[in-house]
Structure 1
């Protein structure tokens, strides 16, 4: 009798829909490309697919937090490169103006047109993203005002850069327990200032100001998905942020998700 009861319970459990995995899980995992890290020029370190064949690769420019260098974030930058992006990280520990970040993108654009360059004909110059952490997040906003930049992901951003000057979609990231760049005081107001472009705010539950260091922690998958949609038009990545089935919105790993009117229209 007890065995029959157990089998009946097992049958019920099998037919009850199980909770979905975190929506950014597939983007959280390494991509299909092996990665090379090397100097791009005197001011930038590049993280790129080892094999640049098979089409053109979108660019991501990176800005470090105050006092940091690309090595602090190398696992995250290698992760992005494994998904097919060419990542140009400014070597400077003071990237808040965004100019050093933009210089990396311009170097890659120039190399794309230079016969004999390993990047010749391999860079998707029409799809450039800007991201960075803390001061580098402010730098990403500053860089995002440039026509070269397609989309921006400020991670726990410092106060630099003009949000009204952004011309492309933006994904603001905050940490629930960040006591340096407080989300409610310093990040969410900047999200509300981006009413002229598609804007999303994601606040990672339990994250501190130092969570993005290393491999990006819980931010990694969402960052990768955002760039995969806006720089590669990956249809699967769209559902993470947009439409009625927005999976980021329902993921308990995120303590708050906001989408403005223009994001709801995507």
Structure 2
């Protein structure tokens, strides 16, 4: 049930539901850094999740045990595909929150400008400072990531040009935004059989990111709507990317970086590529 939070105040396509199957909670990472497959992050994280309405016009997903043990949580801002709000992405966004992220998902159906996404980030920064806010002192204002699907992927590229956004994941992104303006590392995700935003188009956008570490990943058997198990594969890799760049998770790092990075050997992904800056990141 969604509660009301009382606080102060794409390439034109339809997106689809990213509904994840029910799964058991992920085991705690081992004490020593070891290789794990991307599937490790497909399981829900350790936190229960609360969902509320808040912000300028946002749906917020966050760990129910917000701030436990003095934790300050990274923030993810989300952009929807054309013509839909956050509802189709509910399960995916809950999954990210279960791994310790506070997700501010803009309720706009046209997220390509990235403006509504950035408004969500600014709102969370304000709430971190506002006395009495449930988020007071619990947000890491230096760890903000942007992601979105289709038009929202283009919106994530636009949002990623703002210095407060440290890393970006455009999922099957539309043509919005200037990749060369990104301020931090980026993961570009394509579907192998996507005919709406073809893999070659996503790869061409990735190729424009030579100034930052960038990874391209093509999901085997996936069209534009992440059917069946491809939805789970996608969300696991998105979780792992943000866990490394925003939470410092060294296991997640090994999925993307080093000579034997596990994403490159995972049969669920039909193609991967890393640019020179990504290749330079050691395990």
Please confirm whether the aligned pair reaches a TM-score higher than 0.5, indicating the same fold.
yes
Number of aligned residue pairs: 245
Matching of residue 135 in structure 1 with residue 147 in structure 2: no
CA distance in 2, matches of 1:172, 1:162: 14
Task: State which of 185, 189, 203 in structure 1 corresponds to 2:204.
Answer: 189
Asked if the contact 1:64/1:92 (under 8 Å) is kept, the reply is yes
Q: Which residue does 1:15 correspond to in 2?
A: none
CA distance in 2, matches of 1:236, 1:249: 15
Task: State which of 179, 192, 199 in structure 1 corresponds to 2:195.
Answer: 179
Q: Which residue does 1:227 correspond to in 2?
A: 242
**Relative contact order: is structure 1 or structure 2 higher (C-alpha 8 Å, sep ≥ 6)?**
2
Deviations 1:214-245 (A, max 9, x none): 99432011000000000011010000000012
Structure 1: where are the runs of 5+ without partners?
A: 1-20
Q: Which residue does 1:44 correspond to in 2?
A: 58
Q: For the structure 1 residues 96 and 212, does the alpha-carbon distance in structure 2 shift closer, same or farther, using more than 3 Å as the test? A: farther
Q: What's the offset of the Cα at 1:111?
A: 0.5
TM-score (structure 1 length as normaliser)? 0.89
Deviations 1:82-140 (A, max 9, x none): 00000000000000000000000100000001111110000010000000000000000
Task: State which of 274, 277, 282 in structure 2 corresponds to 1:259.
Answer: 274
More helix by share: 1
Runs of 4 or more above 6 Å deviation: 212-215
Q: For the structure 1 residues 100 and 213, does the alpha-carbon distance in structure 2 shift closer, same or farther, using more than 3 Å as the test? A: farther
Kindly report which structure 2 residues correspond to 1:105-184, keeping only aligned pairs within 5 A, or say none: 105-184=121-200
CA distance in 2, matches of 1:257, 1:40: 37
Matching of residue 210 in structure 1 with residue 225 in structure 2: yes
Asked if the contact 1:152/1:169 (under 8 Å) is kept, the reply is yes
CA distance in 2, matches of 1:89, 1:211: 19
CA distance in 1, matches of 2:229, 2:37: 21
CA distance in 1, matches of 2:254, 2:182: 23
Matching of residue 237 in structure 1 with residue 252 in structure 2: yes
CA distance in 2, matches of 1:104, 1:214: 30
CA distance in 2, matches of 1:183, 1:22: 26
Tell which structure's C-alpha radius of gyration is larger. Answer: 1
Q: Which residue does 1:7 correspond to in 2?
A: none
Q: Which residue does 1:4 correspond to in 2?
A: none
CA distance in 1, matches of 2:58, 2:262: 35
Task: State which of 91, 107, 111 in structure 2 corresponds to 1:75.
Answer: 91
Matching of residue 28 in structure 1 with residue 47 in structure 2: no
**SS of residue matched to 1:167:** coil
TM-score (structure 2 length as normaliser)? 0.84
CA distance in 2, matches of 1:40, 1:176: 36
Structure 2: where are the runs of 5+ without partners?
A: 1-34
**SS of residue matched to 1:209:** coil
